[in-house]
A and B are shown apart, each in its own frame.
Chain A
Amino acid sequence: MLTRNKLLAGAAALVGLSMAAPADAQGPVKIGELNSYKVFPAFLEPYKKGWELAVEEVNAAGGVLGRKIEVVSRDDNGNPGDAVRVAEELLSREGAAFLVGTFPSHVGLAVADFAKQRKVLFLAAEPLSDKIVWDSGNAYTFRLRTSTYMQTAMLIPDAVKLNKKRWAIVYPNYEYGQSATAAFKKLLSAKQPGVEFVTEQATPLGKIDAGAVVQALADAKPDAIFSSLFGPDLAKFVREGQQRGIFKGVEVFNLLAGEPEYLDPLKEEAPDGWYVTGYPWSEIKTPEHTKFLNAYQAKYKDYPRLGSVVGYATIMSAVAIIKKAGSLDQDKLIAAAKGVTVLTPFGMIEYRPIDHQSTMGAYVGRVGVKDGKGYMKEWRFVDGKDVLPPDADVKKMRPGN
């Protein structure tokens, strides 16, 4: 017969079990990471080194919540369908606490939507798309990197100062290039009424016909060019333009072109005098960057690329969020992520409560050539929070959650 004592004993046993359970779960805190490693290796190999360094440092300092951290990393093949599947695998099979990573915009947006559906935190590391925090923003998604809009806005003061009337534009034909172009036209027209955009070239990503494009731009007789090309497209554009002499007397602005990933391959042909956003790694002397640089070079015998900083800051952000939340509960994580501050190699950043965008900044400067290599000269650091649109505009863009 079921006696009261037996019931009590059973209950006690149950309590004991449930108390014991957390002790069993004292393995590492797992962070699920997914990225398009094979599709964008030039950026993502340094990125991976960056987060591996961060994991090492965090664990050497005792981890978080009294546990070590472990990053479980997957390749999403640059394809949203695969990304959603590996994200699901990270959560349900690997028991990841939440998700970080992704590179191209469409994958980032797909995983963001998945995070909303599954109600888990997603920290988008790389995608530049403005939509990820604005038009398609959701309560579960946060984004680290300086977005397309922010980087474009950083170049605007220099563009305004030059006061050039005729602008030609060239961009890779997908969302990043389109929104960079749209933001540039909008911001410059507002600051400099009467500016003219004389021609626009949308080139297929990775397949620019550089000779023809360069010629078409020159035919429009621009005073200045705004480009958002990167990678092989940028290299081809630079070479054809220089050979054909179309950059003479024309100011060129190019998003991202100062990032070592894209600048270094150009070697002695790096385009002198271009206005770019990028990462002058050898010249940044802030204590937080020096510490990062030394640790990175000691570990890898190589210098960091921008991807390394992003990878490192991603894991540091993830850890800061966990620390602030004090638990792995999703609601607590999300609440903690709002307004969390993190010390990155680029200084202190905050994930803004209003739109979940981090205030990570970027370096703006001009390209110079020294010893057969491109570098950034006359650079300055622009804090992300100074180039974001007014709160009222952000609220209008971001759907109510």
Chain B
Amino acid sequence: MTFASIIIQLLNGLAAAASLFLVSAGLSLIFGVTRIVNFAHGSLYMLGLYGAYTLIEALGRTPLGFWTSVVLSALAVGLVGVLIEVLVLRRIYRAPELFQLLATFAVVLVIKDIALFTWGAEDLVGPRAPGLSMAVEILGRRIPAYDLLLIAIGPVVLLVMWLLLTRTRWGALVRAATQDREMVGALGVDQAKLFTSVFFVGSVLAGLGGALQIPREPANLELDLSVIADAFVVTVVGGLGSIGGAFLAAMLIGVAKAFCIGVGTVNWFGAEIVFSKLTLVVEFLIMAIVLVVRPFGLLGKPQAAQRIAADPAPPLTVPSWTFVLVGLALLLAVPVAADRYVTILLTDIFCFALFAVSLHFIMGPAGMVSFGHAAYFGLGAYAAGLLMKRAGLPMEAALVLAPLVVGAFAVVYGWFCVRLSGVYLAMLTLAFAQISWSIVFQWDSFTGGSNGLFGVWPSAWLAGKTAYYYLALAFCGAGVALLWRVLFSPFGYALRAGRDSPLRAEAIGIDLRAYQWMAFVLVGALAGLAGAVYAFSKGSISPSTISIAQSTDGLIMVLLGGVETLKGPLAGAAIFTWLRDEVARRTEFWRGVMGVVILAIVLLFPQGLVGGLKALTQRWREAQSREKTA
């Protein structure tokens, strides 16, 4: 790279970072105050683009029309954010941790289908910024004037946010709430209003980030999920709740990407390194490195001890033998009684159930949330497929050995992850998942690259759908039973002790980190088993088994069923898989319908389905016994 191209790529990186910073700043602000992992933040960004497009068409392609549209669109998105907060999130602030994530996920689905309905499927290419459509010559190369403006907007917004946060009463309240929101409440501040206002500002930033992109990016329906992952990465790399950190991280990632592209292909010591291919994963590599070196991000501080918003998790109860035996008997009878497709759908559900139960084990009782659990599921599928296709092992051996391979990966990933806590830990698991994904996705000669592996079918004696159904039931059932059993062993109790009070657990001699590490490996291996069973049921494996979407599905299943109960993840996996199958068949707008159904469940059962039902039966029993004593 020449000096000139280095400078130009630097400017490119900074321009790309501007919008990313705005979105991330909003996300960081919202998380800092409300502790909500707002999955719908990317959807707000997308709405910002669509809104700006429509408004510009209406107001005219003049400088005045353009800038009015950008501002109006951002404000409108702010109002959407307020709506989400008031109608949905406000009702579930006291739900168990992360439950709000489920609600925001449902909002993503709904907004996506509303956008499809309103703006159609075709990409909408907005106009260039009127008055700024020319390019400026720098060092003999042309760079769009609008990019230079974006580079300037970033620091301006940073300054405005800094003034807002440090020079106004509202800012003082936000900072106080980020530190200790219970205390802020106790001092007589109306939390509801504060949260709503924070949501408004955060959403305006997301909308503004989107609207400002209109001359650079067509409005399309994939924007929501593609930006949300990047925004999370920036937020975490910068340090949660730190706007300055988000600014720094956005610059770092934007510039790093531009340089990967600028450097292109390089020969180092005879090996050809294609840097442009790194763009697929560079932000996650940066996040992994930053988190390993600085566990709270670049400018983040250790999270202030939060008083728990919800009640502490109730003790787990062992599922009764009647439940287990009746359930098992019913499942054994299915192939005899029901049609062939039911066994196929149930085979899927078994795999997802084990996947969800293993995720529940780590995020519930062990207290370590994983956003990248698909890493183990997908690696299990690939391990099984590769052992069979590349190592030539029989299918049965591949199925049994796959969890061990995945366990080995979990040993490595877990070692890094257990050194962190909270959302930082969750994001490091995501980083590992994405790094695994990008390697699998690009290693054509070994993993089959983006196409994946084919011809991964079970041996002849298992090829029948009924035979495989029983195999899946046996393996996944055994996996679930093992995990449940472990939860009621001394090891399981020690994990819960560590979750509820790390200090006391250490004090009575529990080596918490070692325990958590072991839990990681166990859970990884069993998620790997689920993936291996899944692979042979499908006959093919694709990188989507390791994708963010797969990890999210797992989280949704656990939260939907209820994170505080053992049966929750089972119910969640079953209902989510069945619902998707059923709704997708009945309506074209199945995503929106799914979103609405999930929202209804969220609002009716803030402890998840099983948790909610449990609470209901308990209340009913209490009422009964009160009647008896009266």
- The secondary-structure label for the interface of chain A is helix
Given A232-B222, A236-B218, 11 further pairs, Cβ under 8 A: A38-B591, A79-B544, A89-B581, A136-B454, A173-B279, A174-B449, A175-B449, A203-B276, A212-B9, A212-B262, A213-B261
Q: Closest Cβ of chain A: how far from B493's Cβ, in Å? A: 36
Q: Which residues of A contact B (CB under 8 A)?
A: 37-38, 41-42, 44-45, 74-75, 77-81, 84-85, 88-89, 92-93, 105-107, 109-110, 112-114, 117, 129, 131, 136, 173-175, 178, 199-204, 206-207, 209-213, 215-216, 218-220, 231-232, 235-236, 239-240, 243-245, 261, 264-267, 269
Can you give 20 contacting A-B residue pairs, CB < 8 Å? Answer: A79-B542, A84-B539, A89-B345, A112-B454, A175-B451, A178-B444, A199-B265, A201-B261, A203-B276, A206-B226, A215-B8, A216-B5, A232-B123, A232-B220, A235-B125, A236-B218, A239-B215, A243-B135, A244-B142, A265-B218
- The residues of B that contact A244 with a CB separation of less than 8 Å are 135, 141-144
Contact of A85 among B144, B147, B216, B344 (CB under 8 A): B344
Nearest residue (CB) in A for B122 is A42
Contact of B340 among A45, A92, A129, A213 (CB under 8 A): A92
Task: Check if A88 sits within 8 Å of B341, measured CB to CB.
Answer: yes
Q: Which residues of B contact A (CB under 8 A)?
A: 1-2, 5, 8-9, 12-13, 15-16, 116, 121-125, 128, 133, 135, 141-144, 147, 215-218, 220-222, 226, 257-258, 261-262, 264-265, 274, 276-277, 279-280, 339-341, 344-345, 348, 441-442, 444, 449-452, 454-455, 457, 463, 534, 538-545, 549, 580-581, 584-585, 588, 590-591
Task: Check if A215 sits within 8 Å of B5, measured CB to CB.
Answer: yes
- The residues of B that contact A136 with a CB separation of less than 8 Å are 454
Task: Check if B454 sits within 8 Å of A113, measured CB to CB.
Answer: yes
- The residues of A that contact B261 with a CB separation of less than 8 Å are 201, 209, 212-213, 215-216
- The residues of A that contact B584 with a CB separation of less than 8 Å are 74-75, 77
Complex Cα–Cα for A77 and B348 (A): 15
Task: Check if B279 sits within 8 Å of A209, measured CB to CB.
Answer: yes
- The residues of B that contact A78 with a CB separation of less than 8 Å are 544
Complex Cα–Cα for A344 and B508 (A): 77
- The residues of A that contact B590 with a CB separation of less than 8 Å are 38, 75
Q: Closest Cβ of chain A: how far from B563's Cβ, in Å? A: 25
Task: Check if A81 sits within 8 Å of B141, measured CB to CB.
Answer: no
- The residues of A that contact B9 with a CB separation of less than 8 Å are 212, 215-216
- The residues of B that contact A213 with a CB separation of less than 8 Å are 261, 276
Task: Check if B262 sits within 8 Å of A216, measured CB to CB.
Answer: yes
Task: Check if A74 sits within 8 Å of B540, measured CB to CB.
Answer: no
Closest 8 CB pairs of A and B: A41-B121, A174-B450, A110-B540, A212-B258, A212-B261, A113-B454, A93-B341, A211-B12
Q: A41-B121, A80-B452, A243-B133 are in contact. Are A200 and B276 (CB under 8 A)?
A: yes
Q: A42-B123, A243-B142 are in contact. Are A92 and B591 (CB under 8 A)?
A: no
Complex Cα–Cα for A131 and B585 (A): 30
Q: A89-B344, A243-B135, A269-B125 are in contact. Are A110 and B538 (CB under 8 A)?
A: yes
- The residues of B that contact A89 with a CB separation of less than 8 Å are 341, 344-345, 581
Contact of A265 among B1, B123, B143, B341 (CB under 8 A): B123
Q: A215-B12, A244-B135 are in contact. Are A113 and B218 (CB under 8 A)?
A: no
Q: Closest Cβ of chain A: how far from B125's Cβ, in Å? A: 5
- The residues of B that contact A79 with a CB separation of less than 8 Å are 542, 544, 549
Q: Closest Cβ of chain B: how far from A84's Cβ, in Å? A: 5
Nearest residue (CB) in B for A203 is B279
Contact of A216 among B264, B340, B544, B580 (CB under 8 A): B264
- The residues of B that contact A77 with a CB separation of less than 8 Å are 580, 584
- The residues of B that contact A174 with a CB separation of less than 8 Å are 441, 449-450
The residue in B116, B122, B543 that gathers the most chain A C-beta atoms within 10 A of its C-beta is B122
- The residues of B that contact A209 with a CB separation of less than 8 Å are 12, 16, 257-258, 261, 279
- The residues of B that contact A129 with a CB separation of less than 8 Å are 451
- The residues of A that contact B123 with a CB separation of less than 8 Å are 42, 231-232, 235, 265
Q: Closest Cβ of chain A: how far from B416's Cβ, in Å? A: 25
Task: Check if B217 sits within 8 Å of A232, measured CB to CB.
Answer: yes
Task: Check if B539 sits within 8 Å of A113, measured CB to CB.
Answer: yes
Contact of A114 among B276, B339, B540, B588 (CB under 8 A): B540
The residue in A75, A89, A202 that gathers the most chain B C-beta atoms within 10 A of its C-beta is A202
Task: Check if B540 sits within 8 Å of A245, measured CB to CB.
Answer: no
Complex Cα–Cα for A264 and B220 (A): 14
Task: Check if B262 sits within 8 Å of A219, measured CB to CB.
Answer: yes
Complex Cα–Cα for A311 and B141 (A): 45
Task: Check if B218 sits within 8 Å of A232, measured CB to CB.
Answer: yes
Complex Cα–Cα for A285 and B127 (A): 34
Q: Closest Cβ of chain A: how far from B291's Cβ, in Å? A: 22
Complex Cα–Cα for A131 and B121 (A): 29
Q: Closest Cβ of chain B: how far from A311's Cβ, in Å? A: 14
Contact of B274 among A107, A200, A215, A220 (CB under 8 A): A200
Nearest residue (CB) in A for B121 is A41
